[in-house]
Amino acid sequence: MTLNIDHLHVDLDGTGVLRDIGLRVGEGELVCLVGRNGAGKTTTFRSIMGFVRPSRGDIAWKGQSLIGMPTHAIARLGLGYTPEGSDVFGELSVADNIALPTWSRKTESSAGSRTAAAYAVFPVLEKYRARGAMQLSGGERKMVSIARAMALDPQLLLLDEAFEGLSPALLPTISDGLRRILDQGRSILLAESNYYHLPSFAHRIYIIERGEVVFEGTQKQARADPAALKLIDGTG
């Protein structure tokens, strides 16, 4: 197993935000963490990346505990992260935004091959290489944010609300990009507040409600579970 979260508890300002979270992501898998806004998805991601220190439990990457490690060290182990909001460096071009991780993290892959892999996820970005990032639409900035994380050469990509705020016409473009990431042999953990935006090729979903995972299984199994289905309908 690539990522394994076991009995994770997080307290913020004396309040239990996550309770006994268990979650796993295998090699080459797309795993989705689904829940309404405020359910605990972003806190889970921030805990994985070291921004938040859990009060109990463990987060292991390839058998190595990440608890207590600084964020930059976690990223160097092969975890990429695109936070909710898809921020870009507006003063930089698209090309410089995407190339930036090749300057900050060295891997066995060349900078050229890493940026090529990033553009391969969303080929449309090739024609925007010289354009300032803030001249792009919201959907295009979302693509740049994901492509920039890809240029880190991650083995696991954490995507927080990759479909948020997108027009229905752009949802297939993002889904196609996620499939291309899997085709490159990488894994994805996707947080999403709307179940109906999830790609059909997700390997497994977890439904989180009030800081607790209340369902684990396939999308088909979720739709056949009355309790899960009620929660799913509440996210749409």
**pLDDT level of residue 131 (50, 70, 90 thresholds):** very high
Q: Which of 50-59, 132-141, 147-156, 180-189 has the lowest mean pLDDT?
A: 132-141
SS3 of the chain: CCEEEEEEEEEECCEEEEEEEEEEECCCCEEEEECCCCCCHHHHHHHHCCCCCCCEEEEEECCEECCCCCHHHHHHCCEEEECCCCCCCCCCEHHHHHHHHHHHCCCCCCHHHHHHHHHHHCHHHHHHCCCEHHHCCHHHHHHHHHHHHHCCCCCEEEEECCCCCCCHHHHHHHHHHHHHHHHCCCEEEEEECCHHHCCCCCCEEEEEECCEEEEEECHHHHHCCHHHHHHHHHHC
**pLDDT level of residue 1 (50, 70, 90 thresholds):** low
pLDDT at 232: 85
pLDDT at 236: 67
pLDDT at 14: 83
Query: What's the mean pLDDT in 1-15?
Result: 92
Q: Which of 6-15, 57-66, 107-116 is predicted most confidently?
A: 57-66
Query: What's the mean pLDDT in 6-33?
Result: 95
Query: What's the mean pLDDT in 106-121?
Result: 91
pLDDT at 28: 96
Q: Residues 136-164: pLDDT tens digits?
A: 888 899 999 999 999 999 999 999 999 98
Q: Which of 36-50, 61-75, 92-106, 113-127 has the lowest mean pLDDT?
A: 92-106
pLDDT at 235: 74
Share of the chain above pLDDT 70, in %: 99
pLDDT at 118: 95
pLDDT for 214 beyond 80: yes
Is the full-model pTM beyond 0.85? yes
**pLDDT level of residue 192 (50, 70, 90 thresholds):** very high
pLDDT for 86 beyond 70: no
